[in-house]
A and B are shown apart, each in its own frame.
Chain A
Amino acid sequence: MSERLRLNPIACEAHGMCAELLPERIVLDEWGYPIVDERPLSPELVSHAQRAAQACPTFALLVERRRA
Protein backbone atom coordinates (compact mmCIF):
# COMPACT_ATOMS: atom_id res chain seq x y z
CA MET A 1 0.00 0.00 0.00
CA SER A 2 1.14 3.50 -0.72
CA GLU A 3 -0.55 6.84 -0.38
CA ARG A 4 -0.56 9.54 -3.00
CA LEU A 5 -1.98 13.00 -3.28
CA ARG A 6 -4.51 13.78 -5.92
CA LEU A 7 -6.18 17.07 -6.74
CA ASN A 8 -9.66 17.66 -8.09
CA PRO A 9 -8.89 20.74 -10.23
CA ILE A 10 -12.59 21.53 -10.69
CA ALA A 11 -13.23 21.75 -6.95
CA CYS A 12 -10.01 23.67 -6.20
CA GLU A 13 -10.56 27.39 -5.58
CA ALA A 14 -6.98 28.33 -4.79
CA HIS A 15 -7.38 28.88 -1.05
CA GLY A 16 -3.78 27.75 -0.69
CA MET A 17 -4.12 26.02 2.69
CA CYS A 18 -2.57 22.82 1.33
CA ALA A 19 0.68 24.52 0.33
CA GLU A 20 0.92 26.04 3.83
CA LEU A 21 0.47 22.67 5.48
CA LEU A 22 2.44 20.47 3.07
CA PRO A 23 5.14 22.58 1.40
CA GLU A 24 7.18 19.37 0.90
CA ARG A 25 4.77 18.23 -1.78
CA ILE A 26 2.68 21.23 -2.81
CA VAL A 27 3.72 24.57 -4.26
CA LEU A 28 1.45 27.28 -5.61
CA ASP A 29 1.60 28.51 -9.19
CA GLU A 30 1.53 32.19 -10.11
CA TRP A 31 -2.28 32.26 -9.83
CA GLY A 32 -2.34 30.58 -6.43
CA TYR A 33 -3.37 27.12 -7.61
CA PRO A 34 -1.50 24.14 -6.15
CA ILE A 35 1.02 22.14 -8.14
CA VAL A 36 0.85 18.74 -6.52
CA ASP A 37 3.61 16.15 -6.51
CA GLU A 38 1.68 12.92 -7.08
CA ARG A 39 4.49 10.47 -6.35
CA PRO A 40 3.90 8.08 -3.42
CA LEU A 41 4.12 9.78 -0.04
CA SER A 42 6.83 8.75 2.36
CA PRO A 43 5.38 7.35 5.65
CA GLU A 44 6.32 10.40 7.71
CA LEU A 45 4.43 12.69 5.33
CA VAL A 46 1.13 10.77 5.33
CA SER A 47 -0.33 12.37 8.45
CA HIS A 48 0.67 15.85 7.23
CA ALA A 49 -0.95 15.10 3.88
CA GLN A 50 -4.15 14.03 5.58
CA ARG A 51 -4.18 17.21 7.63
CA ALA A 52 -3.72 19.26 4.46
CA ALA A 53 -6.59 17.41 2.79
CA GLN A 54 -8.86 18.02 5.76
CA ALA A 55 -7.97 21.70 5.81
CA CYS A 56 -9.09 22.24 2.20
CA PRO A 57 -12.33 24.25 2.32
CA THR A 58 -13.58 22.67 -0.94
CA PHE A 59 -12.32 19.11 -0.33
CA ALA A 60 -10.31 19.33 -3.53
CA LEU A 61 -7.24 17.57 -2.14
CA LEU A 62 -7.44 13.82 -1.78
CA VAL A 63 -5.09 11.34 -0.16
CA GLU A 64 -5.54 8.18 -2.20
CA ARG A 65 -4.52 4.74 -1.14
CA ARG A 66 -3.24 2.54 -3.95
CA ARG A 67 -1.62 -0.83 -4.05
CA ALA A 68 2.08 -0.33 -4.62
Chain B
Amino acid sequence: MNRHSATAEFEPVAESPSQPPAPGLPRLLEGVPAQGAMSLRAHLDTHGELPPVPRRDRRAGAALIDQIEQAGLDGRGGAGFPMARKMRTVAAGRGRPIVVVNATEGEPASLKDRTLLETLPHLVLDGAALAARAIGADEAIVCVCESASVGSERLAAAIAEREHLPGRWPQIVLNTAPPGYVAGHESALVNHLNGGPGKPTFSPPMPFERGVRRRPTLVNNAETVAHLALIARHGSRWFRELGLADQPGSTLVTLSGPLAYPGVYEVEYGASLASLLDAAGGTTARVRAALFGGYAGTWVDGACLPRLALSDAHLAPHRASLGAGVVLLLSEQACPVAETARATRWLAGESAGQCGPCVHGLAALAHALEQVCHGRTQGDAMARVEQLAMLISRRGACAHPDGAVRFATSASEVFAEELADHARYGACDACARQSELPLPIRRSVITAAEPVSPMREDRTIQLP
Protein backbone atom coordinates (compact mmCIF):
# COMPACT_ATOMS: atom_id res chain seq x y z
CA MET B 1 0.00 0.00 0.00
CA ASN B 2 1.14 3.48 -0.85
CA ARG B 3 1.47 5.11 2.53
CA HIS B 4 3.19 8.31 1.57
CA SER B 5 0.54 9.08 -0.93
CA ALA B 6 -0.54 12.48 -2.05
CA THR B 7 -3.57 14.23 -0.72
CA ALA B 8 -6.86 14.33 -2.48
CA GLU B 9 -7.01 17.87 -3.71
CA PHE B 10 -10.65 18.68 -4.13
CA GLU B 11 -9.99 22.38 -4.06
CA PRO B 12 -7.23 24.29 -5.80
CA VAL B 13 -4.28 24.60 -3.45
CA ALA B 14 -2.23 27.79 -3.43
CA GLU B 15 1.37 27.43 -4.54
CA SER B 16 3.19 28.81 -1.52
CA PRO B 17 2.67 27.41 1.98
CA SER B 18 3.43 30.79 3.61
CA GLN B 19 1.11 32.58 6.06
CA PRO B 20 -1.81 32.97 6.01
CA PRO B 21 -2.33 29.33 5.15
CA ALA B 22 -3.93 28.32 1.88
CA PRO B 23 -7.65 27.75 2.31
CA GLY B 24 -7.78 24.33 0.68
CA LEU B 25 -6.20 20.94 1.14
CA PRO B 26 -3.84 19.54 2.20
CA ARG B 27 -3.68 20.69 5.78
CA LEU B 28 -2.19 17.92 7.91
CA LEU B 29 -0.40 16.39 4.94
CA GLU B 30 1.05 19.72 3.75
CA GLY B 31 4.61 19.13 2.57
CA VAL B 32 4.58 15.45 3.53
CA PRO B 33 8.00 14.08 2.56
CA ALA B 34 8.18 11.22 0.07
CA GLN B 35 10.74 9.49 2.28
CA GLY B 36 11.62 9.78 5.94
CA ALA B 37 10.17 12.14 8.50
CA MET B 38 9.78 15.89 8.18
CA SER B 39 12.52 17.60 10.21
CA LEU B 40 11.72 20.09 12.93
CA ARG B 41 13.02 22.96 10.79
CA ALA B 42 10.93 21.93 7.76
CA HIS B 43 7.94 21.49 10.06
CA LEU B 44 8.31 25.01 11.50
CA ASP B 45 8.87 26.45 7.99
CA THR B 46 5.69 24.78 6.78
CA HIS B 47 3.35 25.53 9.66
CA GLY B 48 5.03 28.34 11.61
CA GLU B 49 5.98 28.54 15.28
CA LEU B 50 3.81 26.93 17.91
CA PRO B 51 1.84 29.66 19.73
CA PRO B 52 3.10 29.88 23.32
CA VAL B 53 0.85 28.85 26.19
CA PRO B 54 2.34 30.01 29.50
CA ARG B 55 2.83 27.29 32.06
CA ARG B 56 0.11 26.94 34.70
CA ASP B 57 -1.86 29.74 33.07
CA ARG B 58 -5.43 28.58 33.45
CA ARG B 59 -6.89 31.39 31.37
CA ALA B 60 -4.65 30.68 28.37
CA GLY B 61 -5.49 26.99 28.65
CA ALA B 62 -9.20 27.68 28.81
CA ALA B 63 -8.91 29.99 25.78
CA LEU B 64 -7.33 27.17 23.79
CA ILE B 65 -10.15 24.82 24.80
CA ASP B 66 -12.68 27.49 23.75
CA GLN B 67 -10.95 27.71 20.40
CA ILE B 68 -11.22 23.93 19.93
CA GLU B 69 -14.89 24.06 20.85
CA GLN B 70 -15.53 26.81 18.29
CA ALA B 71 -13.63 24.81 15.69
CA GLY B 72 -15.86 21.81 16.47
CA LEU B 73 -13.03 19.29 16.52
CA ASP B 74 -14.25 15.75 17.12
CA GLY B 75 -12.08 12.76 18.00
CA ARG B 76 -10.62 10.93 15.01
CA GLY B 77 -10.15 7.58 16.74
CA GLY B 78 -13.56 6.22 15.81
CA ALA B 79 -15.95 7.36 18.52
CA GLY B 80 -16.01 10.99 17.34
CA PHE B 81 -16.40 12.52 20.80
CA PRO B 82 -16.12 16.34 20.94
CA MET B 83 -12.56 17.04 22.04
CA ALA B 84 -13.27 20.29 23.91
CA ARG B 85 -15.85 18.61 26.14
CA LYS B 86 -13.44 15.82 27.05
CA MET B 87 -10.69 18.36 27.77
CA ARG B 88 -12.93 20.39 30.08
CA THR B 89 -13.95 17.30 32.04
CA VAL B 90 -10.34 16.22 32.48
CA ALA B 91 -9.16 19.74 33.38
CA ALA B 92 -11.87 19.97 36.06
CA GLY B 93 -11.06 16.52 37.49
CA ARG B 94 -9.33 15.73 40.75
CA GLY B 95 -5.53 15.83 40.64
CA ARG B 96 -3.06 16.93 37.97
CA PRO B 97 -4.25 15.65 34.62
CA ILE B 98 -2.16 13.62 32.23
CA VAL B 99 -2.33 13.34 28.42
CA VAL B 100 -2.16 10.10 26.46
CA VAL B 101 -1.89 10.21 22.68
CA ASN B 102 -3.19 6.98 21.24
CA ALA B 103 -1.22 6.11 18.10
CA THR B 104 -1.47 2.34 18.53
CA GLU B 105 -3.84 1.98 15.55
CA GLY B 106 -4.83 -1.64 16.05
CA GLU B 107 -7.21 -1.44 13.10
CA PRO B 108 -5.52 -3.43 10.30
CA ALA B 109 -7.30 -1.42 7.58
CA SER B 110 -6.07 1.92 8.94
CA LEU B 111 -2.65 3.44 8.30
CA LYS B 112 -3.28 7.11 8.99
CA ASP B 113 -1.75 7.30 12.48
CA ARG B 114 1.27 5.34 11.38
CA THR B 115 1.63 7.69 8.42
CA LEU B 116 1.57 10.68 10.80
CA LEU B 117 4.16 9.11 13.09
CA GLU B 118 6.48 8.11 10.28
CA THR B 119 6.27 11.24 8.16
CA LEU B 120 4.96 14.10 10.31
CA PRO B 121 5.94 13.30 13.90
CA HIS B 122 6.24 16.97 14.90
CA LEU B 123 2.58 17.58 14.12
CA VAL B 124 1.65 14.86 16.61
CA LEU B 125 4.15 16.15 19.20
CA ASP B 126 2.89 19.74 18.80
CA GLY B 127 -0.63 18.50 19.39
CA ALA B 128 0.39 16.42 22.42
CA ALA B 129 2.15 19.45 23.94
CA LEU B 130 -0.79 21.76 23.24
CA ALA B 131 -3.35 19.33 24.67
CA ALA B 132 -1.28 19.05 27.83
CA ARG B 133 -0.84 22.82 28.13
CA ALA B 134 -4.54 23.44 27.61
CA ILE B 135 -5.60 21.18 30.47
CA GLY B 136 -2.65 21.91 32.77
CA ALA B 137 -0.94 18.52 32.43
CA ASP B 138 2.83 18.31 32.79
CA GLU B 139 3.24 15.01 31.03
CA ALA B 140 2.09 13.64 27.69
CA ILE B 141 2.58 9.97 26.83
CA VAL B 142 2.55 9.01 23.15
CA CYS B 143 1.65 5.33 22.80
CA VAL B 144 2.85 3.47 19.72
CA CYS B 145 2.29 -0.19 18.97
CA GLU B 146 5.44 -2.24 19.58
CA SER B 147 5.16 -3.62 16.04
CA ALA B 148 5.39 -0.11 14.53
CA SER B 149 9.16 0.12 14.91
CA VAL B 150 9.75 2.74 12.20
CA GLY B 151 7.10 4.99 13.67
CA SER B 152 8.49 4.79 17.17
CA GLU B 153 12.09 5.34 15.99
CA ARG B 154 11.11 8.46 14.08
CA LEU B 155 8.99 9.72 16.95
CA ALA B 156 11.89 9.22 19.37
CA ALA B 157 14.19 11.10 16.98
CA ALA B 158 11.65 13.91 16.73
CA ILE B 159 11.36 14.15 20.52
CA ALA B 160 15.17 14.47 20.69
CA GLU B 161 15.09 17.18 17.99
CA ARG B 162 12.80 19.29 20.17
CA GLU B 163 15.24 19.42 23.10
CA HIS B 164 16.17 22.99 22.26
CA LEU B 165 12.70 24.35 21.62
CA PRO B 166 11.79 27.19 23.99
CA GLY B 167 9.10 26.58 26.61
CA ARG B 168 9.89 22.91 26.90
CA TRP B 169 6.88 21.67 28.76
CA PRO B 170 5.20 19.30 29.14
CA GLN B 171 7.52 16.36 29.20
CA ILE B 172 6.73 14.10 26.24
CA VAL B 173 7.34 10.40 26.75
CA LEU B 174 7.21 7.61 24.20
CA ASN B 175 5.60 4.34 25.24
CA THR B 176 5.27 1.11 23.31
CA ALA B 177 1.95 -0.65 23.73
CA PRO B 178 1.34 -4.36 23.14
CA PRO B 179 -0.10 -5.33 19.75
CA GLY B 180 -3.71 -6.37 19.29
CA TYR B 181 -7.02 -5.01 18.16
CA VAL B 182 -8.41 -4.28 21.62
CA ALA B 183 -5.08 -3.12 23.13
CA GLY B 184 -5.75 0.31 21.61
CA HIS B 185 -9.04 0.62 23.47
CA GLU B 186 -8.88 3.60 25.83
CA SER B 187 -9.20 1.63 29.06
CA ALA B 188 -6.82 -1.10 27.81
CA LEU B 189 -4.18 1.52 27.09
CA VAL B 190 -4.58 3.07 30.53
CA ASN B 191 -4.42 -0.42 32.05
CA HIS B 192 -1.15 -1.05 30.20
CA LEU B 193 0.31 2.32 31.28
CA ASN B 194 -0.53 1.48 34.88
CA GLY B 195 1.55 -1.68 34.63
CA GLY B 196 -1.33 -4.06 33.92
CA PRO B 197 -2.01 -6.14 30.81
CA GLY B 198 -3.16 -4.26 27.71
CA LYS B 199 -6.73 -5.37 28.17
CA PRO B 200 -9.89 -3.32 28.68
CA THR B 201 -11.13 -2.77 32.23
CA PHE B 202 -14.57 -2.59 33.75
CA SER B 203 -15.75 1.02 33.70
CA PRO B 204 -16.72 3.41 35.25
CA PRO B 205 -14.46 4.95 36.40
CA MET B 206 -13.63 6.12 32.91
CA PRO B 207 -10.06 7.20 32.08
CA PHE B 208 -11.14 10.86 32.08
CA GLU B 209 -12.20 10.42 35.71
CA ARG B 210 -9.42 8.16 36.94
CA GLY B 211 -6.83 6.91 34.50
CA VAL B 212 -3.04 6.75 34.40
CA ARG B 213 -1.66 6.83 37.96
CA ARG B 214 -5.24 7.41 39.09
CA ARG B 215 -5.11 10.89 37.58
CA PRO B 216 -7.74 12.33 35.23
CA THR B 217 -6.46 11.26 31.82
CA LEU B 218 -7.11 12.77 28.41
CA VAL B 219 -6.82 10.00 25.82
CA ASN B 220 -6.84 11.22 22.23
CA ASN B 221 -6.07 9.72 18.88
CA ALA B 222 -2.87 10.91 17.14
CA GLU B 223 -4.75 12.53 14.25
CA THR B 224 -7.01 14.44 16.66
CA VAL B 225 -4.07 16.14 18.36
CA ALA B 226 -2.44 16.81 14.98
CA HIS B 227 -5.53 18.86 14.05
CA LEU B 228 -5.18 20.64 17.37
CA ALA B 229 -1.66 21.71 16.36
CA LEU B 230 -3.09 23.52 13.33
CA ILE B 231 -6.18 24.97 15.03
CA ALA B 232 -3.94 26.57 17.69
CA ARG B 233 -1.96 28.24 14.89
CA HIS B 234 -4.67 29.28 12.46
CA GLY B 235 -7.83 29.51 14.55
CA SER B 236 -11.27 27.98 14.57
CA ARG B 237 -12.59 30.00 11.62
CA TRP B 238 -9.83 28.69 9.42
CA PHE B 239 -10.66 25.15 10.54
CA ARG B 240 -14.32 25.62 9.57
CA GLU B 241 -13.47 26.87 6.09
CA LEU B 242 -13.48 23.23 5.04
CA GLY B 243 -16.08 20.60 5.75
CA LEU B 244 -19.68 20.79 6.92
CA ALA B 245 -21.35 22.87 9.60
CA ASP B 246 -21.96 19.81 11.80
CA GLN B 247 -18.72 18.06 10.89
CA PRO B 248 -16.15 20.74 10.08
CA GLY B 249 -12.60 20.41 8.84
CA SER B 250 -10.70 17.71 7.07
CA THR B 251 -9.89 14.14 8.00
CA LEU B 252 -7.42 11.45 7.05
CA VAL B 253 -8.87 8.48 5.22
CA THR B 254 -7.11 5.17 4.64
CA LEU B 255 -8.42 4.05 1.29
CA SER B 256 -7.70 0.51 0.15
CA GLY B 257 -9.02 -2.09 -2.24
CA PRO B 258 -8.91 -2.43 -6.04
CA LEU B 259 -7.55 1.05 -6.78
CA ALA B 260 -4.66 2.45 -8.82
CA TYR B 261 -3.24 4.29 -5.80
CA PRO B 262 -4.56 3.06 -2.47
CA GLY B 263 -3.20 5.01 0.48
CA VAL B 264 -3.79 7.67 3.08
CA TYR B 265 -5.67 10.74 1.80
CA GLU B 266 -6.73 13.93 3.46
CA VAL B 267 -10.30 14.79 2.55
CA GLU B 268 -12.77 17.47 3.40
CA TYR B 269 -15.85 16.24 5.27
CA GLY B 270 -18.71 16.14 2.81
CA ALA B 271 -16.50 15.48 -0.24
CA SER B 272 -17.96 12.89 -2.55
CA LEU B 273 -16.59 9.35 -2.42
CA ALA B 274 -16.32 9.55 -6.22
CA SER B 275 -13.84 12.44 -5.97
CA LEU B 276 -11.73 10.47 -3.50
CA LEU B 277 -11.71 7.46 -5.80
CA ASP B 278 -10.68 9.76 -8.68
CA ALA B 279 -7.82 11.11 -6.59
CA ALA B 280 -6.72 7.52 -6.01
CA GLY B 281 -6.54 6.94 -9.76
CA GLY B 282 -9.91 5.25 -9.99
CA THR B 283 -10.95 1.67 -9.32
CA THR B 284 -9.27 -1.21 -11.12
CA ALA B 285 -12.18 -3.63 -10.72
CA ARG B 286 -15.92 -3.47 -10.25
CA VAL B 287 -16.77 -2.83 -6.61
CA ARG B 288 -19.21 -5.11 -4.80
CA ALA B 289 -19.32 -3.15 -1.53
CA ALA B 290 -17.34 -0.81 0.69
CA LEU B 291 -16.49 -1.23 4.35
CA PHE B 292 -16.64 2.04 6.30
CA GLY B 293 -14.97 2.44 9.68
CA GLY B 294 -12.85 -0.72 9.66
CA TYR B 295 -13.59 -4.15 11.09
CA ALA B 296 -15.89 -2.68 13.72
CA GLY B 297 -17.69 -0.86 10.93
CA THR B 298 -20.41 -1.28 8.36
CA TRP B 299 -20.67 -2.58 4.81
CA VAL B 300 -22.40 -0.40 2.22
CA ASP B 301 -23.60 -1.93 -1.04
CA GLY B 302 -21.65 -1.00 -4.17
CA ALA B 303 -24.82 0.31 -5.82
CA CYS B 304 -25.06 3.06 -3.18
CA LEU B 305 -21.46 4.23 -3.54
CA PRO B 306 -21.65 6.61 -6.54
CA ARG B 307 -23.97 8.99 -4.67
CA LEU B 308 -22.21 8.73 -1.33
CA ALA B 309 -20.38 11.58 0.42
CA LEU B 310 -17.76 11.28 3.13
CA SER B 311 -19.42 12.52 6.29
CA ASP B 312 -21.24 10.85 9.15
CA ALA B 313 -24.48 12.64 8.18
CA HIS B 314 -24.27 11.23 4.65
CA LEU B 315 -23.37 7.76 5.90
CA ALA B 316 -26.01 7.64 8.66
CA PRO B 317 -28.86 6.46 6.35
CA HIS B 318 -26.65 3.45 5.59
CA ARG B 319 -26.08 2.98 9.34
CA ALA B 320 -22.38 3.59 8.66
CA SER B 321 -19.88 6.16 9.85
CA LEU B 322 -16.32 7.01 8.89
CA GLY B 323 -15.05 5.77 12.25
CA ALA B 324 -11.28 6.11 12.27
CA GLY B 325 -11.39 7.02 8.57
CA VAL B 326 -11.30 3.63 6.91
CA VAL B 327 -12.78 3.10 3.45
CA LEU B 328 -12.12 -0.38 2.12
CA LEU B 329 -13.44 -1.46 -1.26
CA LEU B 330 -14.23 -5.10 -1.98
CA SER B 331 -14.09 -6.12 -5.62
CA GLU B 332 -16.72 -8.23 -7.34
CA GLN B 333 -14.15 -10.96 -7.89
CA ALA B 334 -13.88 -11.59 -4.17
CA CYS B 335 -16.28 -13.87 -2.34
CA PRO B 336 -17.91 -11.63 0.28
CA VAL B 337 -19.05 -14.66 2.29
CA ALA B 338 -15.55 -16.11 2.63
CA GLU B 339 -14.15 -12.65 3.35
CA THR B 340 -16.75 -12.00 6.05
CA ALA B 341 -16.23 -15.40 7.64
CA ARG B 342 -12.44 -14.95 7.70
CA ALA B 343 -12.65 -11.45 9.16
CA THR B 344 -15.16 -12.55 11.80
CA ARG B 345 -12.89 -15.44 12.78
CA TRP B 346 -10.04 -12.96 13.09
CA LEU B 347 -12.18 -10.63 15.23
CA ALA B 348 -13.08 -13.59 17.48
CA GLY B 349 -9.36 -14.29 17.92
CA GLU B 350 -8.74 -10.66 18.84
CA SER B 351 -11.02 -10.85 21.87
CA ALA B 352 -9.11 -10.02 25.04
CA GLY B 353 -10.60 -13.24 26.41
CA GLN B 354 -12.09 -11.57 29.46
CA CYS B 355 -15.85 -11.52 28.96
CA GLY B 356 -17.80 -14.75 28.40
CA PRO B 357 -20.26 -13.42 25.80
CA CYS B 358 -17.37 -12.07 23.69
CA VAL B 359 -15.19 -15.20 23.97
CA HIS B 360 -17.96 -17.69 23.27
CA GLY B 361 -20.26 -15.46 21.24
CA LEU B 362 -17.74 -14.28 18.65
CA ALA B 363 -16.39 -17.81 18.22
CA ALA B 364 -19.95 -19.02 17.64
CA LEU B 365 -20.61 -16.15 15.22
CA ALA B 366 -17.49 -17.00 13.22
CA HIS B 367 -18.45 -20.69 13.26
CA ALA B 368 -21.97 -19.93 12.01
CA LEU B 369 -20.61 -17.86 9.12
CA GLU B 370 -18.04 -20.55 8.24
CA GLN B 371 -20.80 -23.15 8.17
CA VAL B 372 -22.80 -20.95 5.79
CA CYS B 373 -19.72 -20.45 3.63
CA HIS B 374 -19.23 -24.21 3.27
CA GLY B 375 -22.91 -24.92 2.82
CA ARG B 376 -22.96 -27.08 5.95
CA THR B 377 -25.96 -25.46 7.52
CA GLN B 378 -28.80 -27.05 9.40
CA GLY B 379 -31.98 -25.03 9.58
CA ASP B 380 -31.94 -21.30 9.09
CA ALA B 381 -28.30 -20.35 9.37
CA MET B 382 -28.92 -16.65 9.01
CA ALA B 383 -31.43 -16.77 11.87
CA ARG B 384 -28.60 -18.17 13.98
CA VAL B 385 -26.37 -15.22 13.03
CA GLU B 386 -29.16 -12.83 14.01
CA GLN B 387 -29.76 -14.65 17.28
CA LEU B 388 -26.06 -14.53 18.17
CA ALA B 389 -25.91 -10.84 17.32
CA MET B 390 -28.74 -10.15 19.78
CA LEU B 391 -27.08 -12.36 22.39
CA ILE B 392 -23.64 -10.73 22.18
CA SER B 393 -24.51 -7.04 21.80
CA ARG B 394 -23.64 -4.75 24.70
CA ARG B 395 -22.52 -7.53 27.00
CA GLY B 396 -18.78 -6.93 26.97
CA ALA B 397 -16.66 -4.57 29.07
CA CYS B 398 -15.50 -2.86 25.89
CA ALA B 399 -17.05 -2.24 22.48
CA HIS B 400 -15.17 -5.06 20.71
CA PRO B 401 -18.05 -7.59 20.62
CA ASP B 402 -20.46 -4.85 19.48
CA GLY B 403 -18.13 -3.84 16.67
CA ALA B 404 -17.74 -7.44 15.50
CA VAL B 405 -21.52 -7.88 15.58
CA ARG B 406 -22.00 -4.68 13.56
CA PHE B 407 -19.54 -5.95 10.98
CA ALA B 408 -21.16 -9.38 10.70
CA THR B 409 -24.77 -8.20 10.66
CA SER B 410 -24.14 -5.51 8.05
CA ALA B 411 -22.39 -8.16 5.95
CA SER B 412 -25.39 -10.45 6.31
CA GLU B 413 -27.66 -7.65 5.05
CA VAL B 414 -25.51 -6.41 2.16
CA PHE B 415 -24.40 -9.90 1.06
CA ALA B 416 -27.74 -11.61 1.76
CA GLU B 417 -27.91 -13.10 -1.73
CA GLU B 418 -24.39 -14.54 -1.69
CA LEU B 419 -24.96 -15.93 1.82
CA ALA B 420 -28.18 -17.64 0.74
CA ASP B 421 -26.36 -19.12 -2.28
CA HIS B 422 -23.56 -20.47 -0.12
CA ALA B 423 -25.93 -21.88 2.47
CA ARG B 424 -27.67 -23.76 -0.33
CA TYR B 425 -24.88 -24.78 -2.71
CA GLY B 426 -21.71 -24.56 -0.62
CA ALA B 427 -18.42 -22.88 -1.40
CA CYS B 428 -18.08 -20.91 -4.64
CA ASP B 429 -15.08 -20.66 -6.95
CA ALA B 430 -14.08 -17.30 -5.50
CA CYS B 431 -13.99 -18.70 -1.93
CA ALA B 432 -10.46 -20.00 -2.48
CA ARG B 433 -9.16 -16.69 -3.79
CA GLN B 434 -6.61 -14.89 -1.69
CA SER B 435 -8.18 -12.65 0.93
CA GLU B 436 -8.80 -9.08 -0.23
CA LEU B 437 -9.43 -7.80 3.27
CA PRO B 438 -6.10 -7.06 4.94
CA LEU B 439 -5.80 -9.16 8.09
CA PRO B 440 -2.66 -9.65 10.13
CA ILE B 441 -1.62 -13.23 10.80
CA ARG B 442 -3.23 -14.32 14.03
CA ARG B 443 -0.87 -14.98 16.88
CA SER B 444 -2.55 -18.30 17.59
CA VAL B 445 -1.68 -19.42 14.07
CA ILE B 446 1.99 -18.63 14.59
CA THR B 447 2.17 -20.49 17.87
CA ALA B 448 0.09 -23.46 16.69
CA ALA B 449 1.83 -26.66 17.74
CA GLU B 450 1.94 -28.54 14.46
CA PRO B 451 4.89 -30.46 13.08
CA VAL B 452 6.92 -28.33 10.72
CA SER B 453 7.56 -30.07 7.44
CA PRO B 454 10.81 -29.42 5.54
CA MET B 455 8.83 -27.61 2.89
CA ARG B 456 7.41 -25.21 5.39
CA GLU B 457 10.85 -24.60 6.83
CA ASP B 458 12.12 -23.59 3.40
CA ARG B 459 9.48 -20.95 3.26
CA THR B 460 10.37 -19.46 6.63
CA ILE B 461 11.36 -15.85 6.29
CA GLN B 462 14.50 -14.97 8.20
CA LEU B 463 14.13 -11.86 10.28
CA PRO B 464 17.23 -9.75 10.81
Contact = CB atoms under 8 A, between A and B. Distances in A.
Pairing of A with B: yes
Kindly state the interface size class of chain B when it binds its partner. 10 to 19
A11 interface: yes
B147 interface: no
Interface of A: 8-14, 29-33, 35
B181 to A, nearest CB: 17
A42 B202 CA distance: 26
Contacts of B397: 8-10
Contacts of B63: none
A31 B356 CA distance: 8
B59 interface: no
B395 A14 contact: no
A3 to B, nearest CB: 17
Contacts of B355: 9-10, 12
B348 to A, nearest CB: 14
B202 A33 contact: no
B395 A31 contact: no
B269 to A, nearest CB: 35
B79 interface: no
Given A29-B391, A35-B395, A10 B202 contact: yes
Given A9-B202, A29-B357, A35-B391, 9 more contacts: A9-B354, A9-B357, A9-B396, A9-B397, A10-B354, A13-B356, A31-B361, A32-B356, A33-B356
Contacts of B358: 9
A35 B393 CA distance: 11
A31 to B, nearest CB: 4
Nearest to B201: A10
A33 B391 CA distance: 11
Contacts of A10: 200-202, 354-355, 397
Interface string B394-411: 011100000000000000
11 contacts: A10-B201, A10-B354, A10-B355, A10-B397, A12-B355, A12-B356, A29-B391, A31-B357, A31-B360, A31-B361, A33-B395
Interface in B179-202: 200-202
Which of A9, A13, A30 has most B Cβ within 10 Å?
A9
B248 to A, nearest CB: 36
A35 B392 CA distance: 10
B357 A33 contact: yes
Contacts of A29: 357, 391
Contacts of A8: 202, 397
A11 B395 CA distance: 13
Interface in B403-443: none
Interface SS of A by simple majority: loop
Interface in B368-395: 391, 395
A13 to B, nearest CB: 8
Nearest to A62: B202
Contacts of B396: 9
Contacts of B391: 29-30, 35
A63 B275 CA distance: 53
A24 B251 CA distance: 48
Contacts of B200: 10
A10 B201 CA distance: 8
A9 B202 CA distance: 8
A60 to B, nearest CB: 9
A6 to B, nearest CB: 10
Contacts of B361: 31
A12 B354 CA distance: 9
B199 to A, nearest CB: 8
Contacts of B202: 8-11
A54 B396 CA distance: 22
A13 B357 CA distance: 11
A64 B122 CA distance: 46
A29 B361 CA distance: 10
Contacts of B356: 9, 12-14, 31-33
B347 to A, nearest CB: 17
B198 to A, nearest CB: 14
A17 B200 CA distance: 25
Contacts of B354: 9-10
A30 B365 CA distance: 13
A9 B395 CA distance: 7
A67 to B, nearest CB: 15
Contacts of A31: 356-357, 360-361
Which of A13, A14, A30 has most B Cβ within 10 Å?
A30
A14 B355 CA distance: 10
A14 to B, nearest CB: 6
Interface string B341-364: 000000000000011111011000
